[in-house]
Amino acid sequence: MSRFVSVFLPHLAIERLKRERAASCAAPLADDRPLALIGHAERGLTLSAVNAACLRQGLFPGLGLADARAICPHLLTFPAAPRKDAEALLDLARWASCRYSPNLNADGDDGLWLEITGVPHLFGGEKALLADMAARLTRAGLTARFALAGTLGGAHALARHARNSLSIVPEGEIGTALAALPIEALRLEPEIVVLLKRLGLKRIGQLYDLPRASLERRFHAKDTAEAVLYRLDQALGRSQEPRVPLLPSPDFVARLPFPEPLITHDGVLSALDHLASALCAKLARAERGCRRFALWIARADGSSTVIEAGLSAPSREPKHLLRLLQDKLEELDMGFGVDLMSLAALVTETLPFAQTTLTQGNGKAAAEPLIDHLVNRLGARAVRRLFPRASHIPELAQSLKSAFAGPSFWLEQPEKPPRPPLLFARPEPLTVLAEIPEGPPARFTWRHVTRRVVKVEGPERIAPEWWRALRTPSPSKGEGGDGQRLSPGGGPVARSVTQSDPLPNPSPCWGRESSRPRDYYRVEDEDGHRYWVFREGLYQEAAGGTPIWYLHGVFG
C-alpha cells in the first residue's frame, strides 16, 4: 500500500522574507509585531500573508489593507513576492527529494507532498522519519505541520485541519481520522463549501452515511454533487488521485573511470580537460553556468581527495575551469595512482546564450577569469571589487564588497567632466591662495609643499545630498567630538596646513558629509602634475563659516 506525507507550511512567505533579510544582514523582524505581506487583488491591496501576531489581532489573508490598518494601526507591511515564494518552495521540494522520497511535488503554494512507500524503515519508522523532517525544518526557521496517511487527499486534509501538528494514520483507519474534520478539508471550491454548510453538512463524517443518490438530489447542479463525491472518494482511497511527481534537478556531474591507474600529473590534467568539456556541455544544454565546482579524485589505495573552486560570475568555459584547478593539482599526492575522477557543479545559475560577435555566440555573462584566479589563489577575503552606490558625492558613489558578491553592473552614466584615476579615501585639506574669493586657486600648499597653478578647468558644482542630513543628526559636543563641524572625510575641519601641523590621516573614514556645496577644479602645477581640488562652501553664505579647500584626487 502507498503511504503519503503532506507538509503544510502556513507561514512560508513570512519566513522566506525573514531568511532573506538575515542573509542580507538587514535588521531582524520582531516576532511579536504584526507583520503582513501586501498583494494586489481585484478589489485593491489586500493581505496575502500574515504572521501569528496578526492572527491574534484578528487579521487574516484576503483582508483589505485599509481595513487591516483600521484594526491594527501599527501593522508592519512588505510587498508580497509570489515568485520568490514559489522558488523557495521548489528549492525545499528538491531538498526533500534528496533525503526522503524520489516522488514528490509542491502541494498548492504552501505545502509539499511526498510518497514514502518503502522509505520509513531507513529512518527507524514513520514517526522517526517525520520527527527528522520536523527537526530539520525547525532549524531552518520554518513552521510546518505534518500528516502521514495512505491517501494523498487524507494526508492533505489532516496536515491543514487536524488538531495536532503531526498526525500518522494507520492503514485502513483513514475514514475514522477524517470524520471530525471540517468540510473545507476536502479541497472543495468555496461556493460548494458554503452550499454544504447551508444543507447542514459541516463535517466530513456526515457525508459517510448519506446515500449517494440522495446527496446528488440535494444539489441543483450535477457537477457540484460529482465534485463532492470525487473529493470524498480521493480522501478515503476509493478512487486514485492523479499524481505528477516533480522532476529531479539535473545532475551536473561528469565522471571518468580509468582501466589503469594514472600515475602522472600530465595524465590527470588531460583527464580533467575531458571532464571539464563534458560538464560544460551539460551546463550549456540546460543554459546554466557554474558558480562553484568540485573535483573528486579516488586513488587506487582506497583514499580520495576533493578540490573545490569558486567563480565570481557564472561560467561554462572548460579552459577557465581547468585553469582554476591547475595550480592545486600540482601539489596532488598521486599515491598508487588515480582510479576515478569526477567533476561536479555544486552551485549553478541561469546563463542564457548571448551573441557577442557576428559569427559566434558566447554564453558567458562576464569575463571574470582574473578575479577567479586571484580569489582561488589568495582567498575570497583578500580580493574585493567595486560596486556602484546611488550617490553623486564622489567618495560615496561606490563601495567595496567581496569578489563573489556577484557581478557589479555599472549603468551608463551621464557625461561628466573627467575624474582622477586615484581618488583619496578621505579628502585632504589645503591652504589656498586665490585671485578672487570665488575663483580658482592660484597657489596651494599640500603636505608642506607649495605649488603654483598654471592651468585650471572648472568649476564643477556638486550639491549636497540634503536627504542624508534628515537621517543623521548634526555633530555636537557629547557625540564623540568637540562640537566642531566635520570635514568631508569625517574628521574635524583643518583650515590650513603649516609646517607645525601633522600630516592628515589618510585612512578611510566615511563620516557625515557636509551640507555645503562643493566646487571642483582640475588644476595643473608648473611641473605638469594635475590635481582634483574643491572648495567646500561659498563666501556669500550667511552661515557655515569660511569656505575650506581640499584635495580629493590626482590625475598622475
Q: Which residues pair with 186 in a beta bridge?
A: none
Residue with cell 557625515: 512
Q: Residue 494: what pLDDT?
A: 36
112 phi and psi angles, rounded to 5 deg: -135, 155
Domain boundaries defined on the chain:
1-5+87-249, 253-376, 422-554
Q: Residue 410: what pLDDT?
A: 60
- DSSP assignment, residue 486? B
Q: Residue 489: what pLDDT?
A: 42
Q: Residue 485: what pLDDT?
A: 40
Per-residue pLDDT tens listing for the chain (556 residues) = 789 999 999 999 999 998 888 877 777 888 888 999 999 888 789 999 998 899 999 999 989 999 999 999 999 999 999 999 998 998 888 888 778 887 778 888 889 999 888 888 888 999 999 999 999 999 988 999 999 999 999 999 999 999 999 999 999 899 999 999 999 999 999 898 998 888 888 999 998 888 877 776 777 677 888 888 899 999 999 888 877 777 665 678 898 998 888 888 888 899 999 999 999 999 988 888 888 888 989 888 878 888 888 887 788 889 888 888 887 888 888 888 898 999 999 888 888 766 555 455 454 445 466 676 677 777 767 777 777 777 778 887 777 777 666 665 665 666 778 888 888 888 999 999 988 888 899 999 999 999 999 999 989 988 887 776 665 444 444 433 443 344 444 433 333 333 333 333 333 333 445 678 899 999 999 999 999 999 988 887 756 678 899 999 999 6
CB contact at 8 A, 325 and 290:
no
Q: Tell me if the domain spanning 253-376 has CATH number 3.30.1490.100.
A: yes
- The whole-angstrom separation of Cα 12 and Cα 538 is 55
Q: Which residue from 183, 177, 226 is spatially nearest to 207, judged by alpha carbons?
A: 183
Q: Are strands 548-554 and 530-536 parallel, antiparallel or unpaired?
A: antiparallel
Q: Residue 8: what pLDDT?
A: 94
Q: For residue 127, what is the enclosing H or E element?
A: helix 126-139
Q: Residue 500: what pLDDT?
A: 32
Torsion sign across C-alpha atoms 138, 141, 142, 145: positive
- DSSP assignment, residue 234? H
460 phi and psi angles, rounded to 5 deg: -115, 115
- The whole-angstrom separation of Cα 333 and Cα 193 is 69
Q: Residue 413: what pLDDT?
A: 61
- The whole-angstrom separation of Cα 298 and Cα 301 is 8
Q: Residue 162: what pLDDT?
A: 92
Residue with cell 598521486: 334
Amino acid at 246: L
- The whole-angstrom separation of Cα 157 and Cα 177 is 10
User: 3-state DSSP call for residue 251?
Assistant: coil
- The whole-angstrom separation of Cα 335 and Cα 446 is 63
